[in-house]
């Protein structure tokens, strides 16, 4: 489909732009060369939030009888998978940033802990989707879990406010002109936000299609098998 | 350029690319078996 | 709805009295966990005393998993849950009733564990107000979240293995907040506990709402 291709192209372009801008950033005094990673890390985290939000929204639509469609279950599943991917990348990039900046690969401050929690919670969501079950039962159960699990997203976001913590405060809200982080840095990071969001949407569209197509194939295969058995029975 | 920065970009771009290639490949494979009726 | 809730709570507690699962299985398990912690952490080095709040709540969380598994299994056996639905009981009321019964069992276990922590770890229970307030709020949250998730997992064949994976991360905030509140109380710095109590209250309110609203949908499945 052409619009998907356009979307994909846009995603690739903005992502490339982010890389170029990000790697071309001047080293700031406070964070030296490592601020380059901040063109990627907050955008990845933000996109993970969006992904889990979409999972919850799609799940609610699925649970509401009037809007119950298999497509929403597919979107929920695909978005959760992407959310786990982006959360994993958030943790990894965060670790790579933390090691030179704070001296440790990991620390149990509020932000990191809640992010790790978010990761494990949705890993559990993906795990229970793998269980053998009818599609409808799995969809309903997954939807319930997704709606309950999304609570961790605002907890994560507010964790730097609620607990005194090593991690930076919510970056965009605390930007002031003339601080270490302005000008070129903001441009790179904002482009990063755009790039990650576009990438997420594009991957979501593709992944949802894969899920739906594979579900159709399964149905067709099942119908074929039943028809074949029937033929056998009639032939004998 | 710091190794950490390089690793950061490599892992991010690498995994996103890998995932998108995998998704496109699966789409292609599924479409090849063709929709029925 | 509240009448249905008390009916269901009464039923669950009566079942418990007759089968004695909590008293004969979960309570000994709770004490066992406390003892195992002592094996894992060298008692001579004072770690146990300092960590007693966290160990207490960790033990409570483990007991929650067992208790809600048991609570949900009661409905699956002989399709008793469907029977309740057919009898016209409101799902929200059923949820509240089951959660209340679980909360009652957890409360008893907490008293037992509290005694255990005093005896085995030598903890002095300062500021009972904070400790009890924490326990009340935390127990409500644990019971409600646990009952909701256990209903989801109970209908699965591998539900017993899956429930801890699904439930424990969700309960982690309660573990954190309750431990911090208890530490503040035990150290005599009760004012620190207030924000943690607020978090526990928010969690409890949230999962009461989620459970009451969502339990009906979960029941339709199993």
Six token digits for residue A211? 């899920």
Chains A and C touch (3+ CB pairs under 8 A): yes
Contact C193, C185 (CB under 8 A): yes
**Residue A31 pLDDT:** 52
pLDDT at residue B11 tops 60: yes
Closest approach of C165 to chain A, Cα-based (Å) = 6
pLDDT digit string (tens) for A44-53?
999 999 999 9
Cα–Cα distance for residue pair A146/A126, rounded to 1 Å? 10
DSSP H or E segment with residue C37: helix C27-40
pLDDT digit string (tens) for A8-40?
888 888 888 777 777 776 665 545 567 788 889
The residue assigned the tokens 């063709």 is B34
Cα–Cα distance for residue pair A116/A95, rounded to 1 Å? 12
**Phi then psi for A169, rounded to 5 degrees?**
-65, 175
Q: By CA distance, what is C159's nearest residue in A? A: A128
Contact yes or no for B8 and A210 at CB 8 A: no
Contact yes or no for C170 and A121 at CB 8 A: yes
Cα–Cα distance for residue pair A45/B23, rounded to 1 Å? 22
The contact set of A with B (CB < 8 A) is: 8, 15, 19, 22-23, 33-34, 36-37, 40-41, 44, 85, 88-89, 92-93, 96-97, 99-100, 199, 202-203, 206-207, 209-210, 213-214, 216-217, 220
pLDDT digit string (tens) for A106-158?
888 878 888 999 999 999 999 888 877 778 888 888 998 998 899 889 888 88
Closest approach of B35 to chain A, Cα-based (Å) = 8
Closest CA to C145 of A121, B15, B23: A121
Q: CA–CA distance from C170 to each of A9, A121, A129, C86 (Å)?
A: 38, 7, 18, 31
**Residue A27 pLDDT:** 61
Six token digits for residue A212? 């739906």
- Average pLDDT value over all residues in chain B: 84
pLDDT digit string (tens) for A157-210?
888 777 665 555 555 444 444 345 566 777 888 888 999 999 999 999 999 999
Q: How many Å from the N-terminal Cα to the C-terminal Cα in chain A?
A: 47
Per DSSP, the residues of C120-165 read HH------HHHHHHHHHHHHHHHHHHHHHHHHHHHTSTTHHHHHHH
Q: What is the pTM of this model?
A: 0.81
Cα–Cα distance for residue pair C143/C211, rounded to 1 Å? 10
* Chain C residues near residue A164 by CB distance under 8 angstroms: none
Ranges of residues in chain C with a pLDDT under 50 are 222
**Residue C35 pLDDT:** 86
**Residue A181 pLDDT:** 55
- Average pLDDT value over all residues in chain A: 83
Contact yes or no for B5 and A23 at CB 8 A: yes
Which residues are registered as beta bridge partners of A32? A28
Closest CA to C138 of C215, C201, C183, C78: C201
The three-class DSSP label of residue A17 is helix
* Chain C residues near residue A151 by CB distance under 8 angstroms: 206
**How many residues are there in chain B?**
37
> Which chains have 3 or more CB–CB distances shorter than 8 Å to chain C?
A
Cα–Cα distance for residue pair C36/C49, rounded to 1 Å? 15
Select the residue from B13, B14, B16 to test the A interface by mutation, using most A Cβ atoms within 10 A. Answer: B16
**Residue B34 pLDDT:** 63
Closest CA to C174 of C153, C216, C145: C145
Contact yes or no for A37 and B35 at CB 8 A: no
**Residue A77 pLDDT:** 95
Closest CA to A217 of B36, B28, B27: B36
Closest approach of B10 to chain A, Cα-based (Å) = 10
Please report the number of interchain residue pairs, chain A to chain B, with beta-carbon separation below 8 angstroms: 74
**Residue A164 pLDDT:** 60
B22: left (phi over 0), alpha (psi -120 to 50) or beta: alpha
SS3 content of chain B, % helix, strand, coil (to 5): 85, 0, 15
Contact yes or no for A148 and C173 at CB 8 A: no
- Give the number of other CB atoms < 10 A from CB of residue C149: 30
Cα–Cα distance for residue pair C153/C168, rounded to 1 Å? 13
Cα–Cα distance for residue pair C117/C158, rounded to 1 Å? 34
Q: How confident is the model at residue A211 (pLDDT cuts 50, 70, 90)?
A: very high
**Residue A203 pLDDT:** 93
Longest distance between any two alpha carbons in chain A, whole Å: 86
Select the residue from A210, A221, A222, A223 to test the B interface by mutation, using most B Cβ atoms within 10 A. Answer: A210
Q: By CA distance, what is C146's nearest residue in A? A: A148
pLDDT digit string (tens) for C97-147?
889 999 999 999 999 998 888 887 777 777 788 888 889 999 999 999 999
Angle subtended by helix axes C193-221 and A135-149, to nearest 10:
170
Cα–Cα distance for residue pair C33/C48, rounded to 1 Å? 13
């Amino acid at each position: 489909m052409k619009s998907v291709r356009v979307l994909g192209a846009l995603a690739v372009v903005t992502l490339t732009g982010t890389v170029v801008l990000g790697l071309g950033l001047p080293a700031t005094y406070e964070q030296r060369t490592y601020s380059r990673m901040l063109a990627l890390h907050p955008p990845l985290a933000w996109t993970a939030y969006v992904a889990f939000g979409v999972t919850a929204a799609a799940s609610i639509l699925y649970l509401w009888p009037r809007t119950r469609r298999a497509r929403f279950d597919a979107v929920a599943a695909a978005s959760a998978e992407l959310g786990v991917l982006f959360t994993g990348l958030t943790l990894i990039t965060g670790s790579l940033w933390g090691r030179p900046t704070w001296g440790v690969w990991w620390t149990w401050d509020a932000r990191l802990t809640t992010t790790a929690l978010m990761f494990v919670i949705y890993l559990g969501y993906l795990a229970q989707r793998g269980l053998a079950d009818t599609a409808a039962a799995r969809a309903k159960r997954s939807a319930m879990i997704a709606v309950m699990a999304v609570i961790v997203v605002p907890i994560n976001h507010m964790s730097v406010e609620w607990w005194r913590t090593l991690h930076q405060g919510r970056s965009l809200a605390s930007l002031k002109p003339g601080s270490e982080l302005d000008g070129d840095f903001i441009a790179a990071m904002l482009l990063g936000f755009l790039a990650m969001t576009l990438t997420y949407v594009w991957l979501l569209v593709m992944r949802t299609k894969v899920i739906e197509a594979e579900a159709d194939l399964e149905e067709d295969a099942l119908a074929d098998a039943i028809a074949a058995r029937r033929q056998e029975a009639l032939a004998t | 350029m710091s190794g950490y920065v390089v690793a950061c970009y490599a892992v991010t771009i690498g995994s996103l690319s890998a995932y998108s290639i995998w998704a496109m490949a699966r789409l292609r494979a599924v479409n090849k078996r063709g929709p029925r009726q | 709805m509240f009448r249905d809730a008390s009916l269901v709570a009464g039923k669950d507690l009566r079942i418990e009295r007759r089968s004695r699962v909590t008293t004969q299985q979960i309570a000994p398990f709770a004490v066992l966990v406390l003892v195992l912690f002592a094996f894992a952490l060298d008692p001579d080095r004072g770690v146990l005393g300092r960590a007693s709040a966290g160990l207490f709540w960790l033990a409570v969380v483990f007991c929650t998993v067992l208790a809600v598994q048991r609570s949900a299994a009661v409905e699956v056996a002989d399709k008793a849950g469907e029977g309740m639905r057919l009898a016209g009981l409101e799902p929200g009321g059923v949820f509240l009733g089951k959660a209340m019964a679980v909360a009652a069992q957890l409360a008893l276990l907490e008293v037992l564990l509290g005694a255990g922590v005093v005896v085995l770890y030598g903890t002095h229970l300062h500021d009972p107000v904070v400790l009890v307030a924490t326990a009340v709020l935390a127990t409500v949250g644990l019971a409600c979240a646990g009952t909701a998730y256990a209903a989801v997992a109970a209908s699965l064949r591998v539900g017993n293995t899956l429930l801890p994976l699904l439930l424990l991360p969700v309960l982690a905030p309660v573990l954190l907040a309750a431990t911090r509140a208890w530490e503040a109380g035990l150290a005599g710095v009760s004012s620190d506990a207030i924000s943690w109590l607020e978090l526990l209250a928010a969690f409890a309110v949230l999962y009461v709402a989620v459970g009451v609203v969502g339990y009906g949908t979960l029941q339709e499945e199993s």
